[in-house]
Amino acid sequence: MKRNVENAARLSVAPMMDWTDRHCRYLHRLLSRESLLYTEMVTAPALVRGGAVHLLDFSPEEHPVALQLGGSDPAELAAAARLGAEAGYDEINLNVGCPSDRVQSGTFGAVLMKQPELVAECCSAMRAAVDVEVTVKCRIGVDDQEPREVLPAFLETVAAAGVGRFAIHARKAWLQGLSPKENRDIPPLDYPLVQEMKAAFPQLHLSVNGGIASLAQARAFLDAELDGVMIGRAAYHQPWDVLGTADAAIFGQADGLAGPDAAVRAMLPYIEAHLGAGGRLHQITRHMLGLFAGRPGARQWRRVLSEGASQKGAGPELVLRALAEVEGVAAAG
């Protein structure tokens, strides 16, 4: 069932390559019924030229869920957006933040910060193709750009194409000299600039992204008048801590599960269905390794799953054995 995506964007889980696949999103949805979830980036050429529509598969339980696209050709992005909307996604997001500057299809990601008019053209074409909202995830600038000059001009240009919601990673991206991984840590964060953009563009829905590690930090940004907070690695590595109590802390709704152990048990029918369809256990459990982060038994939980989930025939009984290890440590403590 589709929900109010703008309200869900008060707290979202960032699109992360190799991480936020459909199994990860299913787990995250169990933890938080309210937060907005994003796919990994899917390139428009893969969908339109490559016919890789299987990349759009998701479970109905994941709503509200957004598809993130990568690309820079307006017609191709419009066609990809149409496929995403037809598949049932609640939002189509354009990646203007990935620090890899080229793929086979050409320019995409953060390098588009240098071409706001092209981004606006792409968004306009996507908006014309679909009924769901088109949004943008961007950086504050790239390379030697001055963010205080570049970011407001970028927002103004793209907003003029009808985009009303942006997620801003509060770091520059260095397209030469830093790897994508280094680009997530080394350029300094500039949260005040994002807050200044909210003051300058009060009509826009702005989410801040980058380095946010806790619900308390997210709550502070919302209290400071930002419209939303997008959390990446912390939501993945400590999913219970970030999402397990988010519905109450961020949305004023009752939390759905009593603890990470309840989340494990709630995943078992999904795991059984995946295995029944020919899937492998580790495809799901690799996203569950951080469920007990910071709690007694976390090391044993990770060890049992890491060692056993890739073995042929591994199934729900391994997950239950890992959970028993956690409960045994907790009982002994």
Active site residues: 98
Contact 43, 108 (CB under 8 A): yes
Contact 81, 20 (CB under 8 A): no
- Residue 61, classed as helix, strand or coil, is helix
Contact 243, 32 (CB under 8 A): yes
From CA 258, how far away is CA 30, in angstroms rounded? 11
Contact 200, 171 (CB under 8 A): no
Phi-psi region of 152 (alpha: psi -120 to 50; beta: other; left: phi over 0): alpha
Residue entry with tokens 């997950």: 319
Orientation of helix 260-276 relative to helix 316-332, angle to 10° = 170
H or E element at residue 231: strand 228-231
CA 157 from centroid of its chain's CA atoms: 25
Phi-psi region of 98 (alpha: psi -120 to 50; beta: other; left: phi over 0): beta
Do you find a cis peptide bond into 64, omega within 30 degrees of 0?
yes
From CA 188, how far away is CA 172, in angstroms rounded? 8
What is the three-state SS of 81-148?
A: HHHHHHHCCCEEEEEECCCCCEECCEECHHHHHHCHHHHHHHHHHHHHHCCCEEEEEEECCECCCCHH
What contacts 54, CB < 8 A, 6 or more positions away? none
